[in-house]
Structure 1
Amino acid sequence: METFSKKEKEKQRQKKRKDKQEKREDRKANAQKGQPLDQMLAYVDENGNISSTPPDPRRKRQINEEDIQLGVAKQEDEAAPDVIRQGVVTFFNASKGYGFIKDLQSQDSIFVHINALIDPINEQDKVSFSITRTPKGPNAIDVRKAV
């Protein structure tokens, strides 16, 4: 004995199967063999826009390879006038082992790791330190409490 809901579900399955078969036959009937190569090509103009017409060879420009910049610009090494700098610890988390020092000369915030400490430090301590450059930015090393 079939219930009403079973009959309805079976009708829906049959309808879905029939629709799928019709779509498949329609695709086969209307399928194109393919387009010629010149209709499939796309060109890029001098402004980087895609177009269907080939670029004008008279508008071609010569570009010097050395002028092309890839990635980040090279940073020039700054001569360190002060090997030892003075600063104030603005933040330090001893449990995580890192913090930041505000350089009194340049007012920059400089990262410091617990491995770079000579003396233990706390927030608001005045310290002296050296700076080393890393790919992520400047880091403080040889950090000592100022007397």
Structure 2
Amino acid sequence: MAKFMTVSKRENEKKRLAKREEKLKKKESKKLSGKTNSFDDMIAYVDENGMITSTPPADDIQKDEINPNEIVIATPKKEEEEPVILRGRVEFFNVAKGFGFIKNLAGVEKYFFHVNNTVSEIAENDIVTFDLEHGLKGMNAVNVTLEKK
């Protein structure tokens, strides 16, 4: 008993077989041309200017001698910095929740602080000195002390 095929199925089958034959012809023509992808064909060289070429570099090029003992791998030492004492005014302070914000007197930046980071009693509009520390949401004021008048 013969298989029942619709017209579109027959056309698809013919296309598939034609593609297969075309692929086999291309494969045979590559074999006959003798062109192969050898390792030597895939190697690329970089010249002294950083350009990629297919020819190896000449052996008569004078190369600079490098003494491995002269190579220094280290991080530069950090110079001792004098600690900067920042001054600011307490703009907002919530006693019930124990946090507030200090506005830097030297600029327009405002820094968050918490009661745990204060050394003395603080109220709004007090002039204070403080240090900065990286927090989760930015810079935080720590070691907050009331400035002596």
Greater C-alpha radius of gyration = 2
TM-score (norm 2): 0.48
TM-score (norm 1): 0.48
